[in-house]
């Protein structure tokens, strides 16, 4: 079964080479009871470790069932020990945090025994070595002699073809030693039993061979008696693999069976969770800060808490829609006149200039600094920021009851008169940056809305089949309402007569269409008359021919058909930015198409900062990983002996890695759940922790998922590095290092 050909083992330590065994030649067969003896330091334990695959050898060749092993890697020796070897160690190598039965049960689970069979086998073996009464006792509470019995029970339970024992009776009294020697002799009838001892007399009557060593060499190899008749063992142990269920169960057991280790790991993982979250959210915070200084060429009022809505069918918003939006928990203010929010108005005269965005009077929630609430259609409240030079307290009082002309678009004809009835200060200085707000009555908002639709529309007047498109800033074919034009009719410039063969436009049909991104509208009108420069003022009721000559005039009613429309867009402002995703989902569920303006900004000026920030955060994350690894490694060093014992028992590297994965991932998951619990308590204001509030301000649901993935990858890498280090040396070398 085992053959050694000139096998030598050397030890290297700080440049010094020591001999373990030198040019050993042996042949060992099943059924033998081999006793190796010699003084301390003679090499007998080294020889035993080489035979059992716990240690490597440098010279010669060891054959197992005729197969050479000089090319074996660590995994090959693990497989060899699992299949062939049961060890009884001089210092027991038991797992002190396990009970007696768990230590014996472990070796059976490693070899693929199911729960029921393993439990039955464990009970039988413990009874055989006289340890049944201590089955549920932790090994750490046993005496030395009792520990030795458990070590022998574990070896017997594994039931392999070779049993190697290093001083198996060293911690027993003479009576117990005789019992153990007898047990070993019984199983030697069909197995190879190799015993290292100082006391040859205890095993003399059972030994079939005595090997005496001195200074690393075999000086005597004496056959004492012939081999006994061999019999087939009816209780041969299985040689399967440890199931995934058992691996998970073992990992979970290891997580909690040493209290201080679990607490230390939990503290480390809590630190890691918060540290990684801090770096992750610093990136989100910086991204949010960058978004505040971005821009958008269409939306000029791009507050980060603003969400622009449209309906899926493109229809107008109704009062019922506004009421439904008010039912969403995270929705604060609602701006029905949404389109106006992106019309930047300039209120100015010779000594004052201020930019403001129009809003409905219903949205005003502030407190007047000076003045009164509006009473007439064109009266407004002007709100600005106190730290703005143009809106300081010593300047705003003189604005009261003053009239200003505001323009929708760039056309002077779009000017509307407003009177400032009151002024107030806006404390939310981030909302519009340097701009303010002007709050208007609903009637005035409708006038502005009509002007806005006009400004953004493509207006085409078709005369005798020829389409004439109005161009902003050019008076020709500009459509204006006139009190002197009757409903259903139109007043055209005299040049329009040239579109007809008889040079007369009067009485013919003309159509006007208005097309924009919200709607298409058209009216069909009869030409009531044409005007010349002389008749312009009388027929149109407009004074300046220079400004409006070339325009077409229709009734206010027909003008309203084209431009006095409702709101096709609506804006809501969220209260809690961290709940933005949930709010967007609620809006989508109600049939709206939402656009959060924080995602609609161009921030190319900050691209360089982002490019620099990402690798910096990556470096910090790598630093955190190594800090966590070194601390966790220090904690797990107390477990190196445990994992070395698993190797000695024949558990493969992959299985040990999975056990370690279960242990670390369990602690990490507990830490992450505790973190989420703290987050929930802080979000619901059950507890108040400023650090956590700041930490989670910009985190959303998917951010927590990303955070978990980052932590999981870190844990997987830590487990991988630690498990690789476990297998850098031989099993006995790793155990000695621990």
Mean pLDDT, the chain, rounded, equals 85
Q: For the chain, what is the radius of gyration of the CA atoms?
A: 45
Question: Rounded to 5 degrees, what angle do the CA atoms 495, 501, 502 make?
Answer: 85
Torsion angles phi and psi, residue 286, rounded to 5: -65, -40
Distances (CA, A) of 486 to 307, 481, 539, 555, 646: 42, 10, 11, 6, 100
CB 438 within 8 A of CB 461: no
Q: How many other CB atoms are there within 10 angstroms of residue 620's CB atom?
A: 15
Q: Residue 428: what pLDDT?
A: 57
Name the strands in the sheet holding 2-13, side by side, starting at the edge strand that comes first in the sequence: 16-28, 2-13, 59-64, 67-68
Nearest by Cα to 631 from 106, 261, 240, 93:
261
Please report where in the chains the tokens 């693999």 appear, as a residue: 241
Tokens for 670, please give them: 């507990």
Nearest by Cα to 552 from 501, 503, 495, 473:
495
Tell me how far apart the alpha carbons of residues 730 and 728 are, in angstroms, rounded to a whole number. Answer: 7
Tell me how far apart the alpha carbons of residues 22 and 216 are, in angstroms, rounded to a whole number. Answer: 6
CB 168 within 8 A of CB 152: yes
Tell me how far apart the alpha carbons of residues 345 and 438 are, in angstroms, rounded to a whole number. Answer: 9
Q: What is the pLDDT of residues 672-692, one digit of tens each?
A: 999 999 999 988 889 888 888
Tokens for 155, please give them: 């070896």
Tell me how far apart the alpha carbons of residues 304 and 167 are, in angstroms, rounded to a whole number. Answer: 76
First-to-last CA distance in the chain? 32
Number of H helices, E strands in the chain: 21, 28
CB 109 within 8 A of CB 130: no
Distances (CA, A) of 369 to 317, 379, 436: 33, 16, 15
Tell me how far apart the alpha carbons of residues 579 and 596 are, in angstroms, rounded to a whole number. Answer: 12
Which distant-in-sequence residues (6+ apart) come within 8 Å of 381 by Cβ? 361, 364, 368, 371, 373, 374, 420, 421, 422, 423, 424, 438, 439
Q: What is the pLDDT of residues 111-132, one digit of tens each?
A: 888 888 899 999 999 998 889 9
**Residues in the chain with pLDDT values less than 50:** 233-238, 429-432
Q: Residue 432: what pLDDT?
A: 47
Q: What are the helix (H) ranges across 637-684?
A: 640-648, 653-683
CB 132 within 8 A of CB 160: no
Beta bridge partners of 594: 309
Per DSSP, the three-state class of 285 is helix
Provide the sign of the torsion angle of the four alpha carbons 288, 290, 293, 296, taken in this order. negative
Nearest by Cα to 89 from 171, 27, 17, 181:
171
Tell me how far apart the alpha carbons of residues 726 and 643 are, in angstroms, rounded to a whole number. Answer: 8
Distances (CA, A) of 72 to 27, 59, 77: 20, 13, 7
Residue environment code for 327-346, b if the CB has 16+ CB neighbours within 10 A, otherwise e: ebebbebbbbbbbbbbbebe
Please report where in the chains the tokens 């022998």 appear, as a residue: 152
Tell me how far apart the alpha carbons of residues 650 and 196 are, in angstroms, rounded to a whole number. Answer: 21
Q: What is the pLDDT of residues 463-491, one digit of tens each?
A: 999 999 998 778 899 999 999 999 999 99
Element housing 476 (H / E): none
Tell me how far apart the alpha carbons of residues 399 and 393 are, in angstroms, rounded to a whole number. Answer: 11
Which distant-in-sequence residues (6+ apart) come within 8 Å of 429 by Cβ? 385, 387
């Amino acid at each position: 079964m085992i053959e050694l050909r000139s096998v030598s083992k050397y030890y290297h330590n700080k440049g010094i080479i020591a001999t373990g065994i030198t040019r050993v030649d042996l042949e060992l067969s099943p059924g033998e009871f081999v006793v190796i003896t010699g003084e301390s330091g003679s090499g007998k334990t080294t020889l035993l470790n080489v035979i059992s695959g716990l240690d490597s050898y440098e010279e010669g060749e060891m054959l197992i069932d005729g197969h050479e092993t000089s090319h074996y890697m660590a995994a090959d020796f693990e497989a060899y020990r699992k299949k062939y070897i049961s060890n009884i160690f001089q210092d027991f190598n038991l797992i002190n945090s396990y009970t007696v039965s768990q230590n014996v049960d472990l070796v059976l689970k490693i070899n693929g025994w199911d729960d029921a069979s393993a439990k039955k086998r464990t009970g039988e073996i413990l009874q055989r070595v006289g340890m049944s009464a201590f089955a549920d006792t932790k090994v750490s509470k046993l005496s030395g002699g009792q520990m030795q019995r458990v070590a022998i029970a574990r070896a017997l339970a594994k039931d392999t073809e070779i049993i190697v024992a290093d001083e198996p009776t060293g911690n027993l009294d003479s009576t117990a030693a005789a019992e153990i020697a007898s047990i070993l002799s019984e199983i030697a009838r069909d197995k190879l039993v190799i015993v290292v001892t100082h006391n040859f007399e205890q095993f003399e009557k059972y030994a079939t061979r005595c090997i005496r060593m001195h200074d690393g060499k075999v000086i005597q190899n004496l056959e004492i008696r012939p081999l006994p008749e061999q019999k087939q063992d009816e209780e041969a142990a299985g040689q399967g693999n440890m199931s995934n269920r058992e691996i998970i169960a073992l990992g979970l057991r290891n997580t909690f069976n040493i209290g201080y280790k679990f607490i230390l790991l939990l503290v480390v993982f809590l630190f890691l969770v918060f540290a990684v979250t801090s770096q992750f959210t610093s990136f989100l915070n910086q991204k949010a800060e960058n978004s505040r200084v971005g821009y958008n060429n269409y939306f000029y009022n791009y507050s980060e808490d603003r969400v622009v809505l449209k309906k899926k069918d493109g229809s107008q918003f109704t009062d019922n829609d506004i009421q439904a939006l008010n039912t969403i928990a995270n929705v604060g203010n609602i701006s029905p006149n949404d389109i106006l929010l992106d019309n930047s108005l300039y209120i100015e005269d010779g000594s004052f200039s201020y930019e403001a965005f129009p809003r409905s009077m219903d949205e005003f929630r502030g407190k007047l600094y000076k003045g009164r609430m509006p009473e007439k259609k064109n009266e407004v409240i002007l709100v600005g920021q106190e730290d703005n030079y143009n809106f300081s307290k010593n300047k705003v009082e003189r604005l009261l009851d003053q009239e200003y002309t505001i323009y929708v678009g760039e056309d002077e004809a779009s000017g509307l008169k407003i009177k400032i009835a009151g002024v107030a200060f806006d404390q939310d200085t981030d909302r519009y940056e340097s701009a303010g707000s002007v709050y208007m009555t609903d009637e005035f908002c409708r006038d502005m809305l009509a002007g806005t639709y006009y400004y953004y529309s493509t207006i085409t007047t078709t005369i005798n089949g020829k389409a004439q498109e109005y161009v902003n800033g050019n008076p020709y074919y500009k459509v204006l309402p006139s009190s002197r034009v009757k409903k259903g009719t139109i007043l055209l410039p005299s040049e329009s007569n040239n579109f007809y063969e008889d040079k007369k436009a009067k009485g013919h049909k003309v159509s006007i269409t208005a097309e924009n991104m919200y709607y298409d509208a058209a009216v069909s009108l009869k030409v009531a008359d044409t005007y010349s420069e002389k008749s312009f003022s009388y027929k149109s009721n407009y004074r300046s021919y220079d400004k409006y000559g070339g325009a077409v005039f229709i009734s206010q009613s027909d003008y309203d058909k084209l431009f006095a429309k409702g709101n096709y867009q609506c804006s809501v402002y969220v209260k809690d930015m961290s709940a933005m995703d949930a709010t967007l989902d609620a809006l989508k569920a109600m049939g709206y198409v939402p656009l959060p303006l924080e995602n609609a900004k161009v921030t190319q000026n900050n691209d360089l900062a982002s490019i620099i920030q990402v690798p910096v955060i990556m470096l910090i994350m790598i630093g955190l990983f190594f800090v966590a690894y070194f601390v966790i490694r220090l904690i797990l060093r107390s477990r190196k002996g445990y994992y070395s014992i698993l190797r000695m028992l024949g558990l493969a590297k992959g299985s040990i890695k999975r056990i370690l994965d279960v242990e670390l991932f369990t602690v990490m998951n507990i830490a992450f759940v505790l973190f989420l619990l703290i987050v929930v308590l802080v979000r619901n204001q059950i507890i108040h922790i400023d650090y956590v509030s700041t930490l989670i301000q910009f985190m959303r649901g998917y951010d927590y998922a990303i955070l978990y993935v980052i932590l999981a990858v870190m844990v997987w890498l830590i487990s991988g590095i630690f498990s690789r280090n476990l297998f850098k040396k031989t099993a006995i070398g790793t155990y000695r290092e621990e």
